Amino acid sequence: MTILIRNACIKDKSSPHHDKVRDVFISDGKIVDIAEQINTPADTIIESKGLHLSPGWVDIFVSGTDPGFEFKDDLTSIAASAAAGGYTHVFLTPNTNPVTHNKTGVQYITEKKISDPVQLHPIGAVTKNTDGKELTEMFDMKQHGAVAFSDGYRSVQSAGLLIKALQYVKAFDGIIIQIPDDQSVAPHGLMHEGIVSTQVGLPGKPALAEEIMVSRDIELLRYTDSSLHITGVTLATSVAMIRKAKQEGLKLTCSTTTHHLTFTDAEMLSSYNTNLKVNPPLRTEADRQALINAVKDGTIDCITSHHTPQNIDAKVCEFEYAGYGMLGLESTFGTLGNIGLTTDQILQVISVNPRKIFGIAPSIEIGAEADITIFNPDTKKVFTEHDIKSRSSNSPYFGMNLKGDVIGSLLSTQKNIK
């Protein structure tokens, strides 16, 4: 199978073709030629105005729902959602049933045959059953394909256990991923504690729950000299602590979510939209602006969707009883185009940095396996339910005007082209 991509602006800072308009010829999953003009016949020709090409995009924190929760999403539908959003690599949290806490769970994901051009990477659990009591055999999972280690949405609460985990993974250059949430602080809070929560009459979760965990985990990282990634950063105060820690030289990286860059707690004043019920909760406008600035100055390394499918019964109910999370894989790129980030800034946090942090090499060079995303950063469109490939539909983005459109993606011999 041969594919010719014509007149595409290549966006890859590691490539000599960066920011140049080139033709790219791919044969049997390999890039065999890059030139100003290629006239070789091809099975498929991709050509349109405003075409851009970058190393495939990476989402480092997507809810694992298979096995155990296939009615929300299975591995095939997760991959379809990722492909629709332009992603070629997706990291799946271990919060499945059974939990991904041994090599068998890891292999269930890595050995799944996926037709879409997406590689699903299992995140191995830090503790058995993610119950925070006993460490797993993380090295064994690493040997069988675990990309990183985390208890997912049930972050490790014990400081002593997290110290041991950080020391454990240091031996093989592993990375621990933590959501900054002290679950002992206002565990029944439904949204950010503040003026809005008081106005709408919903129990709040204070910023303190995140601040305590960020501060604690930075100190544990300093003590162990290991590697830590904090995901779901939502506060200006958290950004300040992380910025200071990175300036000290700690091996700390972090990510925020698309929805924390888009929405604030003030959304609750107009509706009790259960699709906006997330954890960590949506914060204030000041926090949102601080997050955007932190993306621009490089303090925040990655942006992830925290894509969390929920069946209709978990969302069409009272806010108190609704499940947490929203979909995001299909809408992330177009959403980021609306918040004032340049194309280079967006690619830095969804392609360049996650690849660097987790060891996925860039790919736009002659002789490399094809691992690319094709997109137009300027296309505007209304996001609708027809854009969703998930088995669930809990998205707050329906009806929104998004800037940027995914044309397709390629991963070795597999392709997804509109």
Q: What is the pTM of this model?
A: 0.96
Residue 64, SS3 per DSSP: coil
288 inside domain: yes
Q: Are 345 and 410 in contact (CB under 8 A)?
A: no
Q: Give tens-digit pLDDT for 312-347.
A: 999 999 999 999 999 999 999 999 999 989 999 999
Which runs of E-coded beta strand occur in 234-345?
Answer: 252-257, 302-304
Q: Give tens-digit pLDDT for 42-53.
A: 999 999 999 999
CATH number of the domain within which 382 lies: 2.30.40.10
Which of the four pLDDT bands, split at 50, 70 and 90, describes residue 416? confident
β-partners of residue 364 are none
Distance CA 231, CA 177 (A): 7
Helix (H) or strand (E) holding 62: strand 57-62
Q: Are 224 and 166 in contact (CB under 8 A)?
A: yes
Query: Reduced to 3 DSSP states, what percent helix, strand and coil does the chain have, rounded to the nearest 5?
Result: 30, 25, 45
Mean pLDDT of the chain: 96
Task: Work out whether the CA dihedral 256, 324, 406, 370 comes out positive or negative.
Answer: positive
* CB-facing half-sphere around the CA of 309: CA atoms within 13 A: 27
Distance CA 329, CA 388 (A): 9
Q: Is the same domain home to 299 and 161?
A: yes
41 inside domain: yes
Do you know the residue count of the chain? 418
Domain that holds residue 122: 56-179+215-358
Q: Is the same domain home to 104 and 126?
A: yes
Q: Give tens-digit pLDDT for 10-29.
A: 999 988 999 999 999 999 99
Q: Is the same domain home to 228 and 282?
A: yes
pLDDT over 70 at 253, yes or no: yes
187 inside domain: no
Task: Work out whether the CA dihedral 15, 18, 22, 24 comes out positive or negative.
Answer: positive
> Minimal CA–CA distance to 237: which of 280, 177, 184, 189?
280
Q: Is the same domain home to 149 and 166?
A: yes
pLDDT over 70 at 413, yes or no: no
pLDDT over 90 at 286, yes or no: yes
Task: Work out whether the CA dihedral 297, 229, 264, 271 comes out positive or negative.
Answer: positive
Q: Give tens-digit pLDDT for 143-181.
A: 999 999 999 999 999 999 999 999 999 999 999 999 999
Distance CA 286, CA 264 (A): 9
200 inside domain: no
Q: Are 274 and 319 in contact (CB under 8 A)?
A: yes
Which of the four pLDDT bands, split at 50, 70 and 90, describes residue 348? very high
248 inside domain: yes
Distance CA 55, CA 370 (A): 9
Question: Hey, how many other C-beta atoms are within 10 angstroms of the C-beta on 237?
Answer: 16
185 inside domain: no
Cβ-based neighbours of 270, under 8 Å, separated by 6 or more: none
> Minimal CA–CA distance to 60: which of 298, 269, 353?
353
Helices (H), 350-409: 353-358
Q: Is the same domain home to 148 and 233?
A: yes
Q: Give tens-digit pLDDT for 56-70.
A: 999 999 999 999 999
Q: Are 388 and 397 in contact (CB under 8 A)?
A: no
β-partners of residue 44 are 3
Q: Is the same domain home to 310 and 410?
A: no
Q: Is the same domain home to 149 and 82?
A: yes
Q: Is the same domain home to 111 and 246?
A: yes
To which residue do tokens 């995009």 refer? 57
* CB-facing half-sphere around the CA of 371: CA atoms within 13 A: 20
8 inside domain: yes
Q: Is the same domain home to 338 and 376?
A: no
CATH number of the domain within which 311 lies: 3.20.20.140
18 inside domain: yes
Q: Give tens-digit pLDDT for 79-135.
A: 999 999 999 999 999 999 999 999 999 999 999 988 889 999 999 999 999 999 999
Q: Is the same domain home to 350 and 405?
A: no
Q: Are 101 and 130 in contact (CB under 8 A)?
A: yes
Structural tokens at position 340: 């004032």
Distance CA 365, CA 32 (A): 8
Q: Are 236 and 214 in contact (CB under 8 A)?
A: no
Q: Are 40 and 33 in contact (CB under 8 A)?
A: yes
Structural tokens at position 73: 């999403």
Q: Are 305 and 59 in contact (CB under 8 A)?
A: yes
CA dihedral 237, 342, 58, 19 (to 10 degrees): -140
Q: Is the same domain home to 144 and 169?
A: yes
Distance CA 340, CA 14 (A): 24
Distance CA 23, CA 7 (A): 5
Distance CA 227, CA 170 (A): 7
Q: Is the same domain home to 282 and 139?
A: yes
pLDDT over 80 at 307, yes or no: yes
> Minimal CA–CA distance to 117: which of 88, 84, 76?
88
Number of structural domains (the chain) is 2
